[in-house]
A and B are shown apart, each in its own frame.
Chain A
Amino acid sequence: MASLDDLKKRISSVKSTQKITKAMKMVAAAKLRRAQESAERGRPYSEKMNNIILNLSSGLSDKENAPKLLTGTGEDKVHLCVVMTADRGLCGGFNSNIIKKAKSYFKKLSDNGKTLKIITVGSKGYDQLKRVYKDSIIENISFKESKNANYFEANKVGKIIIEKFENKEFDVCTIFYNQFKNVITQIPQEQQIIPLKMTEDEINKSDESYEFEPDEDEILGNLLPKNISTQIFKAMLENSASEQGSRMSAMDNATRNAGEMVDKLTIEYNRSRQAAITKELIEIISGAESL
């Protein structure tokens, strides 16, 4: 059995850990609110963008010559995967959920004989993937310095992707991120952004007739690169909200576990203190009796 001193030390160390996790939870909660707000504020833009593209592509007269960003290169050999994770750990299953999703997708690709290229956004994803997929990772982007996701950074990532597409380095591009549902649930997502995928509903929904100035092709050519950046930005916003949410619930759990541990240790401490006193008493009494 541990001595009283040892127990005392352990209790105080668990208590100070609890203080840290509690503080991290509070910070995450405050950041979560901000991240959630900016995710909501960013929504109209990406929705509008999506709508316009839908209207445009359904009104496209010459589907053969449509921009490659919309229809793809016509081949399906090289896949580019953009894995978006956080730059920081201690946020529960947030990073590993994305990685897990991405890895199962990678496996599917390699089983089908496709070539895989990876861009990681966020240093945690790079750390986890570099062990197995070191040769496939072509770029590692990290925004450690900046506090909040902003459009400027998303645009940078978008430009890299488009440049690689124009150099014919890949045929299909998919991004991986966590969608924020609520504080407890974040859903890892895979979303194909090149060529653009649309559901049947969305295609049938749009039957507006528009006037275009200049013509559709030119607008699409201008719009599609922007749409890539917008999608990346949306993923970044969702990701940052998810990260904070995930960290908050992870830290909440940790705080609770620490509390339970402190209780258990305190009981043990009291028990052994009592046992020591009883032992001492017995020793005194039996000493007195033997006289």
Chain B
Amino acid sequence: MSEQFNLEIVSPENSFLKKDDVTEVVIPAFEGEMGILKDHISVISFLKPGIIKISSNNEENNFYVDDGIVEFKDNTLSILTSNIFDIKNSEASKIQDMIKEAEKELSDEKLDDQKRFIISQKVEVLKSLSLN
């Protein structure tokens, strides 16, 4: 019991997920993956495209996110994101579409390095998803 904390994922349109029995969350923070356990220090960070791994008592869930902001405070982890979906329920065609779109963005010459880096990361993650 003592190892659990609260998790809340909200998107602009609705409250995506709410859990109170989470034991560990791994988030793709901007400067590398970050694992969060109970009693983590208060932290604010933002996300790059990647996979959120949520371990609760008896199950493990994986979600893909495009971007987002993470706040951890008083044993509550809040993730604000505009594009998120469950990997288990995702459709291959949708992922393919997203890859295509991202690749199109990459071909834009005017892109600055940081954006290029983020988008190429996105393509990598999405491609690894579509392989499974």
Using a CB–CB distance below 8 Å, which chain A residues touch chain B? 38, 41-42, 44-46, 48-49, 51-52, 55-56, 150-151, 154-155, 208-214, 218-219, 222-223, 226, 230, 233
Using a CB–CB distance below 8 Å, which chain B residues touch chain A? 8, 10-15, 29-31, 34, 41-46, 69, 71, 73, 78, 80, 82
* Bound Cα distance A230, B67 (Å): 14
Q: A150-B13, A151-B13 are in contact. Are A219 and B80 (CB under 8 A)?
A: no
Q: A48-B80, A52-B69, A151-B82 are in contact. Are A41 and B15 (CB under 8 A)?
A: yes
* Bound Cα distance A56, B11 (Å): 20
- Would you call A212 and B12 a contact (CB within 8 A)? no
Which residue in B10, B31, B44, B46 is a CB contact (below 8 Å) of A45? B10
State how many angstroms separate the Cβ of A278 from the closest Cβ of chain B. Answer: 68
Q: Which 8 A-B pairs have the closest CB atoms?
A: A151-B12, A41-B14, A211-B43, A213-B45, A45-B10, A210-B42, A44-B10, A45-B12
- Would you call A212 and B45 a contact (CB within 8 A)? yes
* Bound Cα distance A48, B8 (Å): 11
Which residue in A44, A155, A226, A230 is a CB contact (below 8 Å) of B15? A44
Which residue in A41, A45, A214 is a CB contact (below 8 Å) of B80? A45
Q: In the complex, how many residue pairs between chain A and chain B have their CB atoms under 8 Å apart?
A: 74
Judged by DSSP, the binding face of B is: strand
* Bound Cα distance A208, B73 (Å): 9
State how many angstroms separate the Cβ of A109 from the closest Cβ of chain B. Answer: 31
* Bound Cα distance A96, B69 (Å): 38
Contacts of B80 in A (CB 8 A): 45, 48-49, 52
Q: A42-B14, A52-B44, A52-B69 are in contact. Are A213 and B29 (CB under 8 A)?
A: yes
- Would you call A226 and B69 a contact (CB within 8 A)? yes
- Would you call B15 and A213 a contact (CB within 8 A)? no
State how many angstroms separate the Cβ of A269 from the closest Cβ of chain B. Answer: 53
- Would you call B12 and A230 a contact (CB within 8 A)? yes
* Residue from B12, B15, B73 whose CB has the most chain A CB atoms within 10 Å: B12
- Would you call B42 and A155 a contact (CB within 8 A)? no
Contacts of B11 in A (CB 8 A): 45, 151
Q: A44-B15, A45-B80, A48-B78 are in contact. Are A56 and B44 (CB under 8 A)?
A: yes
* Bound Cα distance A100, B80 (Å): 36
* Bound Cα distance A41, B13 (Å): 6
Contacts of B46 in A (CB 8 A): 219, 222-223
* Bound Cα distance A32, B44 (Å): 36
* Bound Cα distance A244, B132 (Å): 46
**CB closest residue in chain A, given B14:** A41
Contacts of A214 in B (CB 8 A): 30-31, 45
* Bound Cα distance A183, B71 (Å): 35
**CB closest residue in chain B, given A213:** B45
- Would you call A209 and B69 a contact (CB within 8 A)? no
State how many angstroms separate the Cβ of A221 from the closest Cβ of chain B. Answer: 10
* Bound Cα distance A275, B9 (Å): 74
